[in-house]
A and B are shown apart, each in its own frame.
Chain A
C-alpha cells in the first residue's frame, strides 16, 4: 500500500527521474544485442534474402504500437474509476510514443513491401489495422490538444481511449474479414512460426528493447507533464530554486 504514495505527482516525479536512466540503459543494451543478432547472426531467409531483416524492427514496433494502446486503456480505466491525475498524465505521456511506434511500423512495413511485392502499400490486414490504430492515436492527441481545461481533457481522453480499445478487436477482426474477402496480400516471413529460433529471439529482444525505451521516454515525458500541470505548487518552486541557486 506504500505504493499508493507514488500516485501523487509530487512523489512520482523524483521516482520517475531515478528510473529513466536505468530503462534507457537497458533499452540501449537490448537494442544493440537484438540488432546484432538480427542483422549479423540470423541466417538469410529462404525466399526473401537479406531484405527480410527489416522485420526485426517492423514486428517489435507493431507489437509495441498495440501494447502501448492497451496500457493506455488500462490507465484510462484507473483514471476514470479512481480519479487519479497521474493515471491520466501517463496516458498523455504514452500517446506520442505509441503513435511513433505505429508510424515506424507502417514505415518499415512499406519499406519491406517494396522489394518483396513491388509495392509500398499492399493493404495487408495487419498493416491496415495498424494504420487505423495510428488514426486512434492521432485522434486522442488531437482531442487532448483541443480541450483547454485539463481536468475535462483528462476525462475525455480517457473515455476516448476506452471506447477506442473496445473497438480495436472489432476493427482488427473486420479488417481481416475484409482482407480475406478481397484476397489481399499477407506479409509474413516464410515458415511463419516455424522460423529459426534465432530470428524469434532477436525479435523478442528487440521488442523488449522497444518496451524499455517506451518506459524511459514515457517517464521522461510524464515528468515534463507533471511540471507543467503543477507549476504553481510549492514543491515545483523548490526545484526551480535548486536549479537556479
Chain B
C-alpha cells in the first residue's frame, strides 16, 4: 500500500530529465531576499526601505491590521506588483539568483478561492497541477482530497461546495503542488478549527521539506511559536521585525 502511494506521489518527477533548467536551480534550499522594498499606493506609503531574508525551511508571518499592506507586500514578493524601490531576489543553494524561473516556483494563495466554479474538486486539482507541468495521477489527487477530508466531495462542482470546503480544496492543491515558495494571504479565512489545523500541518510539512512560507494574517497562528518562524509586524509606514 505504501509503495503505491509513494509511487503516485513521485509520479511526474522525471529524475533524469531537467528540460530547461540547471538541475540545481530548482532544488531546495532556496533563499528569499528582499532589499529596501518601498511601495506607495496612491497617497499612502505602505512600506519603506523594508529588508529581510528568509532561508529554506523558514517562515515569515506578516502581522498587522487590515489594510496595512500585507497583501501588497505578498503581491510584490509574488512579482505581480513592482515595488517603487528595492528588489526581491530568490537564490538557489549556490547563491545564484534564479531569475525568471522564480515565478514557476511560487505559489500564491489569495483571498479569492482560486477555483473554477464549473469544474469538480478533483478536476480543479488536476487543472491547477497541469499548469505546473505536473501530470498528477487520479490516486494522488484522491489522496490529497482525503487528507483534507473532501474525498466524498471529489466529484461535486466547486460552485456547489461551501466556502470552507472550497478553501480546503485550496489546501489540497497546496499539498500537491511542488512549489518551494508559498505566499499565503489570510489562508485561515473561512476555515474552521479542523481546517486551520490541516493548513498549519501542511505548512509545517512544507517547511520540513525545505520550503519557504510567508503568511499574512491578522490572527495568531499556531505556527508562530516554532523556532523556524519570524514575525514582521506591519504598522502604518513604520515597521518592526522580531525573531
A–B proximity contact (CB within 8 A): yes
In the complex, chain B residues whose CB is within 8 Å of the CB of A150: 42
Verify if B193 is at the interface (C-beta below 8 Å from A). no
Question: Are A149 and B43 within 8 A (Cβ)?
Answer: no
Instruction: Tell me the smallest distance from the CB of B76 to a CB of chain A, in Å.
Output: 12
Instruction: Tell me the smallest distance from the CB of B165 to a CB of chain A, in Å.
Output: 33
Q: Report B37-54 CB contacts with A as 1/0, cut-off 8 Å.
A: 000011100000000000
**Chain B interface extent, by class:** under 10
Instruction: Tell me the smallest distance from the CB of B236 to a CB of chain A, in Å.
Output: 14
Instruction: Tell me the smallest distance from the CB of A118 to a CB of chain B, in Å.
Output: 54
In the docked arrangement, what's the CA distance between A232 and B42, Å? 10
The binding surface of chain A is classed by DSSP as: loop
Q: Report A142-185 CB contacts with B as 1/0, cut-off 8 Å.
A: 00000001100000000000000000000000000000000000
Question: Are A232 and B43 within 8 A (Cβ)?
Answer: yes
Q: What is the chain A residue whose CB lies nearest that of B81?
A: A151
User: Interface size (A, Cβ < 8 Å)?
Assistant: 5
Q: What is the chain B residue whose CB lies nearest that of A231?
A: B43
In the complex, chain A residues whose CB is within 8 Å of the CB of B43: 231-232
In the docked arrangement, what's the CA distance between A83 and B42, Å? 17
Selected contact of B41 from candidates A83, A149, A231, CB within 8 Å: A149
Q: Report A42-53 CB contacts with B as 1/0, cut-off 8 Å.
A: 000000000000
In the docked arrangement, what's the CA distance between A149 and B43, Å? 10
In the complex, chain B residues whose CB is within 8 Å of the CB of A149: 41-42
Instruction: Tell me the smallest distance from the CB of A183 to a CB of chain B, in Å.
Output: 52
In the docked arrangement, what's the CA distance between A149 and B82, Å? 13
Q: What is the chain B residue whose CB lies nearest that of A152?
A: B81
Which interface residue of B41, B42, B43 has the most chain A CB atoms within 10 A?
B42
In the complex, chain B residues whose CB is within 8 Å of the CB of A83: 82
Which interface residue of A83, A149, A231, A232 has the most chain B CB atoms within 10 A?
A232
Instruction: Tell me the smallest distance from the CB of B45 to a CB of chain A, in Å.
Output: 9
Give the A-binding residues of B (Cβ under 8 A): 41-43, 82
Could you list some 6 contacts between A and B, CB below 8 A?
Answer: A83-B82, A149-B41, A149-B42, A150-B42, A231-B43, A232-B43
